[in-house]
Each structure stands twice: as C-alpha cells, then as structure tokens.
Amino acid sequence: MSRKSFYITTPIYYPSDRLHIGHAYCTTIADAIARYKRLAGYDVFFLTGSDEHGQKIERKAKEHGVTPIEYVDKIVASFKHLWEKLNISNDDFIRTTETRHKEVVQSIFQKIYDQGDIYKATYEGQYCTPCETFWLERQLVDGKCPDCGRPVELVQEESYFFRLSKYQDRLLQYIEENPDFIQPASRRNEMINFIKSGLEDLCVSRTTFDWGIPVPFDTKHVVYVWFDALVNYITAAGYLHDREKFNKYWPADVHLVGKEIVRFHTIIWPIILMALGIELPKMVYGHGWLVVEGDKMSKSKGNVIDPLALIDEFGADAIRYFLLKEITLGMDGNFSREALINRINADLANDLGNLLHRTLSMIGRFNGGAIEGPGATEPIDLELVALAQNTAAAYEKYMEHMEINAALKEVWGLIGRANKYIDETAPWALAKDAAKKSRLNTVLYNLAEVLRIVSILISPFMPATAPKIWSQLGIEENLGDMRLDDAQRWGRLKAGTRVNKPEPIFPRIEVKADEEPETAATRRPPVAAAPMPAPAEQANEITIDEFAKMDLRVAKVLACEKVPKADKLLKLTVDLGTEQRTIVSGIALHYKPEDLVGKNVVLVANLKPAKIRGIESRGMVLAASNGDKLVLVDAPDMPPGSKVK
C-alpha cells in the first residue's frame, strides 16, 4: 500500500547576501513539519533553494568584479552550508540557474503567450530593485517602496505583460470558497482586500539587463524574476521532466513564506497556475517576522543575527528549539540572546537534561544499569501513563494544525510531570528497602519509558538531541525507524535494556554579571499595576476623552518565565490577536509562571515601550491591589485582541 504524500516548500532565498536568523526561522519551521510528517508515515518531499536571477544580482556581481554566476555560486554555497549545520532535511535544493528550471520557465511562458494571456506593450512605472517588484505610483509610501522603504526607479521599457486582470474574479472566488488556501486568516483578509482594489496586468519581462532566463520567442527580453522564481515549485516536483513524480506530489500541501511575500504567492502564482490549468497549492502560510529586541533586523541598525555564529556557540538544536518554542507561528516573534539563554537553561538543561541524568543515574546505581520490567503499580503511575498517552495525542493534533509551539508545550508538560514524579516517588528511598524492589522497578521503568516517548516526539524539532537520548537509554532499535504510533503506545521499552552512562546533552550556560550591563532604565522597577487607593482618598479626576486614550485589550499568556536576578519580575509572552508581545511585570511574588500560561489578562496596549533588565516591555498588565494582595484583571471568555471598554 502506497504512503500518502506530503509536499512542503520554503521560499527560494535570494543570494544577494548571506542568510540571517529570519531565514533560518522559516526553514527550521518547514524542516520540523517535514520531519513530523515523515514520523507520521507520510512520503515527504521537502524543497528549498535559491532565486538567482534579476537586476539586483547583476549589479552586485558587477560591484564585486565577478560574473553573476560566480557571485551566486559563492553565496549559494553558504546557504547549503547553513542548512547542513542546522540539520535541515530538504529532499531537493533547486537553483533557478539550473537547466531543468530554465526549460520549464520557457515552456510555461511560451504556452501562456500562445493562448493569449501574455502580450507586448510598453511599461512605464516604478520599480524597486532590492525587492525586484513593480509598483504603481498610488501604491508607493512617501514615494518609496511600500515593502522595504527604499527608493524606487522610474522605468520605461518595452515589455511583455501577463493578464492578471483576466483572472481577478476567478481568484477572488477561489480564495473565498477555500478558506484554508491562505493562512493565517489575517493574511487571507489582506489579500482579499488587495484583489478587490483591482489587479493590474503584470509586467513579466525586462530588457534593461541580461541576467535572467531569455523569453523563448524574443531573446532580447528576460523573464521577470518573480515569474521565474515562483515556477520553481513545479520544476522541482517534476513538471515537464517527471510526470509520475509530479502527479505524486502536486499540488503542494504547504508553501511556507514570510508575510512580506504572501502577495506574490497568493496572487501571481495561483493565476499562473490557473492559466496553465494546473491545480493550486493547498495552502500558502505567511509566517511573521523575527525581530531583535523589538526592532526589525537591518544592516543599518547593526542588529542582523548570523545563525552560523549562534549554532557554533549554542548548538543547532538549541537554536531550533528556541525558534520553534518561543514564537507562535503566524505572529511576529522577538529574538534576544538573553531569552535564548534563559530557554536553554530552563527547558533544555534543567527540565530535559535533569530528567535524563537523574533517570539514568538511578538505573545505574540501583539496578546495575538494567531497565527492569515494571512490577507493583499505584495510582500515581497510572496518572503518568495517562498523561504520556494524552500528550502524544495532543501533540499529533497540534502538529496537524502546524501549532508547533503548542506541541512542544505538551511535551515539556510531560517532562515536567516526570521530574515531579521522581520527587513524589523517591526512588532513593525505595532502593533502601528490599521489600520495595518491585515498586522501585516500576518507577524507574516509567521514567525510562517517558524518555523513550519524549525522544520520538522531539525528533522533528531536535534531530541531533533525540538520538543522543535514545542512545543513552540503550535502545537497540533505530530511532529513525520509529513512527508516531510508537510514541502513542505505552510499554514498548523492552525489559532488560541496559542504559549507558549519562552524558550532559545541554550544559547549563552561566552568564557573568558583567556580560549584561545595566542602564538606568534596566534598573528601574516596573509598575505592574497601580495600587488601589485608600477609600478615604479621591484620585484625580480625568475626562472621558483622557480615558479613551488608553487602548485596553485582552491578551492571552502564551509563555511565562522568571527574569534572572530579579525576584519580583516575570517575563510574559502574550497573544494580542494580531501580534505577539513581550511584557515584563512585577508580579512574581503573587503568581508562579506556570499559573499564568493560558490565562487571559487585560493589557494597556498603547503604553510606550520600556527596557526593563534588558528586555523591551511593550505594555502593562492590569491588576487589582489591596495591601499585600494582588490579583490580575482577567477576561476568560473573550478572544485575544478584544477591546476593553
């Protein structure tokens, strides 16, 4: 029986420079989904690549005194090196300079021209070379590119045009009838509004430079770089060259792209496919941006993060875990070195690392290194077994909806419960009483079995760490042969398995005090909520207009952790409906971090951002206070983003 296929793609990245952490984020998401689908038994095809043509590349090559192909060859080699270091498991890497792609692009361009959907005219308008994008005058923002904010150039040249306008109504109907086609919903609404404003025919050839695929019937023209690039998804799937492969994998299940290029993938690309009579991809998912300390990455600000440097310092799996756990897919996410180190120490070194080390050490010390079969059971054991099974089921549900950080949260909930199980069952005490040997065997088996399940579940996210845990457990079967079903069934760990000596998988990272210099702002204590005035006092009156200036919103707490070396501070990551924010609040004496996750709070959303202990806090949670007691204001039945009036 043939396996169900699954085809996922990243954008093909533009080799005008080396990749940054935002590119690594997108590719890591796609890799985690591809690995999960393989774990679930799918026949997966995972594609990434490079988009190598265009005026920008031609200019860059000239600046460096090399040919365009020499320039892109060097940059593309750095792409492949990064993906290797990050353990990206792509099945193909497509380059738009390859012959197989050139043949497909020219064949498609000819076909669409022959049927009358491409015609020659004169183009006069604005062009952004960095984005390789045409713009109408009315679309510019302050005379500049609305995407990147850089200057545009007035272009006038003979060009071929693609009749986008002809397909406007058909595309709009398709999007409205297929709500899953564009995700998340906010991106779909943006595209619907864009299409309703009217689609102009698209200029799809250039004559002012040579670095591109020649138009087959008019070689003084080269194909517009976006028309060329988008076609890569069917080139790699076998269109024109491998019909059996194409029928197997097309339509693509997911095109994963940054939100800034959703428009190209949900307007130009589907219309190309409609013109060709080819089925549209099932989903285009526009993920959010990765910002650094609240700022969008840019060379001018000097805050572009090199993923290779991070991998060399912290390891690929730590970076992968942080990107996947810290950020809710679809929303913007914040990257900071401090948050990365906190996540490594708390989740990887403390939670996962300690569970592995404690379990293996006790099996070695109390049972001579052998995992004995379980014996006497108690209700606490059944509770752990049920949680493990429920975790695997919830994990599958979340991953099928691409809610990666929610799936990881489930796994870490199981890890946390297993650590607590050690404290509650006290194996060291059981080992002192020979009459309780059967009970000791049960406890140690259960802990090892949890680690077996955890190894399988984290393998899509941490492909180097999972085999290390598997090996230390001494399991003979190959982890790569395991399927999701093996994590959903309790008791598959064979009695008599001999564990290996525990080795640290994530050493704790110690940060020296002088590595995080404080400023006056970071030393300033945050105000979590205004204290309740005494009944006899009257607060200063304000007008209704003054009150209306406050934007109060419901926000859901996605993650919460203590701020290092600050007893009163918690760092909250909240979902505001349309974005994700970081809030620092002085409520640590009143709430534990785990008590806040999943809770709806009320947020002052338009408060000026402030840096607190090096963390940019963008808002303030509201609370009621009376003396020593403090209670957060909540709105349990309202969705994130709801306005509080």
Feature table: binding site: 128, 131, 145, 148
DSSP-derived letter for residue 634 is B
What letter represents residue 446's amino acid? Answer: N
Annotated binding-site positions for Zn(2+): 128, 131, 145, 148
Report the C-alpha gap between 347 and 317 in whole angstroms.
12
Q: Using CA atoms, how far apart are residues 531 and 603, in angstroms rounded to an integer?
A: 16
Three-state DSSP at 143 gives coil
Q: Measuring CA to CA, which residue among 241, 327, 474, 230 is closest to residue 28?
A: 327
Following CA atoms 5, 285, 321, 296 in sequence, which dihedral angle do they give, to the nearest 10 degrees?
150
Chain centroid to Cα 159, Å, comes to 38
Q: How far is the C-alpha of 9 from the C-alpha of 255, rounded, in Å?
A: 5
Neighbours of 116 (CB within 10 A): 10
Give the whole-angstrom CA distance, residue 486 versus residue 456. 8
C-alpha–C-alpha distance, residues 431 and 376, integer Å: 14
CA distance 367 to 441: 8
Q: Which two tokens stand for residue 13?
A: 């990245």
Q: How far apart, in whole angstroms, are the C-alpha atoms of residue 388 and residue 399? A: 16
Residue 170's nearest CA partner among 54, 270, 258 is 270
Write phi, then psi, for 93 (nearest 5 degrees).
Answer: -125, 110
Quick one: 492 exposed, middle or buried, by C-beta within 10 A (0-12, 13-18, 19+)?
Answer: middle
Report how far residue 169's alpha carbon sits from residue 606's, in angstroms, rounded to the nearest whole number.
Answer: 39
Report the C-alpha gap between 454 and 448 in whole angstroms: 10
Distance from C-alpha of 288 to C-alpha of 125, rounded to nearest angstrom? 30
Q: What are phi and psi of 529, to 5 degrees?
A: -165, 150
Amino acid making up residue 196: K
Sign of CA dihedral 311, 317, 318, 322: positive
Amino acid sitting at position 399: M
Phi, psi dihedral angles at 561 (to 5 degrees)? -150, 160
- Give the length of the chain: 645
> In this structure, what are the phi and psi dihedrals at residue 13, rounded to the nearest 5 degrees?
-80, 145
- State the helix-helix crossing angle for 185-196 and 168-177, rounded to 10 degrees: 160
**Cα–Cα distance, 281 to 251 (Å, whole number):** 5
The partner residues of 292 in beta bridges, in order of sequence, read 295, 335
Token representation of residue 501: 């000596």
Structure tokens at 482: 């395991």
Burial class (CB in 10 A: 0-12, 13-18, 19+), 627: exposed
